[in-house]
Structure 1
Amino acid sequence: MPPRSTATVRQQRLGAELRKLRERADLSTREAGRKLGVDPARISNIESGRFGVSADRVRSFALGYDCTDEPYIEVLAAMTTSRSRNWWDDYRDILPPVLLDLSEMEEHATALRTVQFTHLPGLLQTPDYARVIFQQNVPALSPPMVEHRLSHRIKRQGVLYADTSMPYTGIIHEAALRMQFGGPEIMRKQLAHIAEMSEREEVTVLVLPFSAGIFPGAGQTVVIAHGPHPRLDTVQLDTEHGSEFLHAEAQLVKYRTIMGCMEDLSLDATASRDFIHALATDR
């Protein structure tokens, strides 16, 4: 396969998983190359996502690395399928690549869990609320760019409306619910929208109240995108410089633990919906 000019996060992830398999087998790229009959440079390029790889070669690598987890191997093989054009490709020359990677991550997730402390979850935002957020960007975005980002965000929300929509859990700190982004009317409609979305079968909204006090990970916006195999879960963190994607085993364990702690401290789904309705009514 010809080299790629750029690799998406999903393509990089496949390469990273193959690298993990090689390292678990305690093989250098040179040793792996001799064992598999593959140029070590090609192995390095595959592991970086620069070169594509076929499903058969993935299975061959896994066999050579003594991996016996068949479900995991088949999931990796499925990640090699030719990439068809997707809706986010329309934004490829308009928006930062990391936003397109975020769309791809959500599209292939089997479940999503997020915790938000200042902003409301992007997949639950109304257009008016999201527009206010984008208008505060530094450096400032032009009006057309604000609208491009807005349309991209709204299209991302399609994962919650698909015929086979995945489970989605949004943990929202009370602080985010009380922020007056855009003023009382925008917030009233935004809170009403979240309460309405929480009625959907696959959507769970949990409120983390002020009374929960301090807890691990306080203030850290986190998304966990669950893959078709637990090894393929991804953690996405929001930073001032954009999204960061994590998938090292220790990182996954850490953020699963943090997310579980926050879920335990949150109000249950019914109490959370009542809390949000009350806030919306008070505005």
Structure 2
Amino acid sequence: MGQAVQTMPRRLLGSELRRLRQAAGKTLDDAAGSIGKDRSQLIKVEDGRATLTAATLGQLLTHYGASTQDRKRILAMGVEARKRQPKRAYVDLLPGANSRIADLEAAANVISYYDRGVIPGLLQIPEYTEAQMVAGDGVWWETSYQERANRVAFRLERQKLPEDKPLLFIFTDDALLTRYGGDQVMRRQIEHLLRAAARPHTTLLLLDSRHPANPCPTGALVLLEFAARTPRVGLLTAAYGPSTYLDEPADTEAIARCFRRLQELAFSAEESRSRLEAALEAT
């Protein structure tokens, strides 16, 4: 097992292996012993600080009882993890990319989330999400009720974060004008936003969609911050196709500056709450 720089492919592989180990009910000692390593070495692999040879990775997957599909996918991730990574950005093109985003969100100590014209996914109620998925049905994937249901379930699963995890949400106020699911759904969605805003570790800020100084006038932006020496991760999400990860300090610092500017431009938490209450009365 080689010592490695903590790149995004290695971090994503490590999170997949951790999830698979936990699903199999295996301890770190059991898993490490199955491949002739010690606990500390496997911890480095799960943290993205070390790699495994193809043969050793295959042996570990056998110990976990990985399905044929998972085995193929994770072995492909192992190939990516062992490559040198000359590019600053990493685009996760392998199957299961969405689940790896959820893993990173679960591992992060702090999450900052910006979106324009839509309620951020981590704050959506099921009916709002379903209406969004209906809009994309037959466009981004073949028309399928099961596909929509799976996407809704996955988004709701991502929302199961500890209540004491610091969360910052900034989104433009025109998101309150689009009636996904109709007026009643939007009313329940705004009520949900008000409850979220009242949580002690959640900050919810509205931003004027017409503000000329907005440094991020299109798209969504996510910044994930972790404990200890683990570098921050910036995530550029897309409506279709894979998301782009950035973990170079120069890039994540630029994203952090963007969030600081967005906070300066946004309405205060109190004003944002007042505007949500006014929007609720108007529905």
Alpha-carbon spacing, 1:56–1:203, altered in 2? closer, same or farther (3 Å): same
Alpha-carbon spacing, 1:121–1:10, altered in 2? closer, same or farther (3 Å): farther
**Which residue does the alignment assign to 1:258?**
258
Deviation at 1:57, TM superposition (A): 9.3
Structure 1 segments, 4+ long, off by >3 Å, are 7-10, 52-59, 75-80
Q: What amino acid does structure 2 have at the position aligned with 1:115?
A: Y
Structure 2 CA distance for aligned equivalents of residues 139 and 190 of structure 1: 26
Structure 2 CA distance for aligned equivalents of residues 220 and 79 of structure 1: 34
Q: How does 1:63-142 map to 2 (within 5 A)?
A: 96-137=95-136, 138-142=140-144
Deviation at 1:54, TM superposition (A): 7.0
2:215 is paired with a residue of what secondary structure? coil
Deviation at 1:172, TM superposition (A): 1.1
**Which residue does the alignment assign to 2:31?**
none
**Which residue does the alignment assign to 1:243?**
243
1:242 is paired with a residue of what secondary structure? coil
Q: Does 1:218 align with 2:252?
A: no
Alpha-carbon spacing, 1:78–1:8, altered in 2? closer, same or farther (3 Å): closer
- Which 10-residue stretch deviates more, 194-203 or 241-250? 241-250
TM (normalized to structure 2)?
Answer: 0.66
Deviation at 1:79, TM superposition (A): 11
2:255 is paired with a residue of what secondary structure? helix
2:159 is paired with a residue of what secondary structure? helix
**Which residue does the alignment assign to 2:145?**
143
Give the alignment's Cα RMSD to 1 decimal.
3.6
Give the count of matched residue pairs: 217
Q: What amino acid does structure 2 have at the position aligned with 1:225?
A: L
Deviation at 1:275, TM superposition (A): 0.6
Percent identity over the alignment is 20
* Residues 132 and 182, structure 1, Cα contact 8 Å, conserved in 2: yes
Alpha-carbon spacing, 1:53–1:248, altered in 2? closer, same or farther (3 Å): farther
Equivalent of residue 156 in structure 1, options 158, 166, 175:
158
TM (normalized to structure 1)?
Answer: 0.66
Q: What amino acid does structure 2 have at the position aligned with 1:204?
A: T
Q: What amino acid does structure 1 have at the position aligned with 2:123?
A: L
